[in-house]
């Protein structure tokens, strides 16, 4: 870490590509229907990560988070991801 490192919070959403079957989402949609939420049309289930990291600036932080998604957090064959990086305070 250099002295100018800033702390960032990355909020990452990983979801299945639209063409991939999502039995978990289908099950949840059915359960919501059984609970009386009959206006629900469909549910897609995915994962959510909050990653706290240090970086010199927001562009660097976003680049690191993108690599994390590509290499570990998402499976690029069947999943898509999106994220938002927010600066918290100087680390």
Alpha-carbon span 88 to 59, nearest angstrom: 14
Among 17, 37, 58, 84, binds a second copy (CB under 8 A): 37
CB of 76 to a second copy, least distance (A): 15
Q: How far is CA 78 from CA 1, 2, 6, 58, 74, in A?
A: 35, 37, 33, 28, 8
Report the candidate in 8, 24, 17, 10 with the shortest Cα–Cα distance to residue 79.
17
Q: Is 6 in the site for a second copy (CB under 8 A)?
A: no
The answer to the question of residue 28 lying near a second copy (CB under 8 A) is yes
Contact footprint for a second copy (CB under 8 A): 1, 5, 7, 11, 13-15, 25, 28, 31-32, 35, 37, 39-55, 64, 67-68, 71-73
């Amino acid at each position: 870490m250099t002295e100018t490192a800033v702390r960032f919070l990355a909020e990452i959403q990983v979801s299945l590509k639209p063409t991939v079957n999502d039995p978990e989402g289908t099950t949840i949609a059915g359960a919501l229907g059984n609970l009386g939420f009959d206006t629900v049309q469909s549910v897609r289930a995915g994962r959510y990560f909050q990653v706290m990291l240090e970086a010199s600036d927001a562009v660097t932080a976003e680049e690191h988070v993108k690599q994390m998604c590509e290499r570990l957090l998402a499976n690029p064959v069947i999943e898509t991801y999106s994220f938002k990086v927010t600066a918290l305070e100087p680390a």
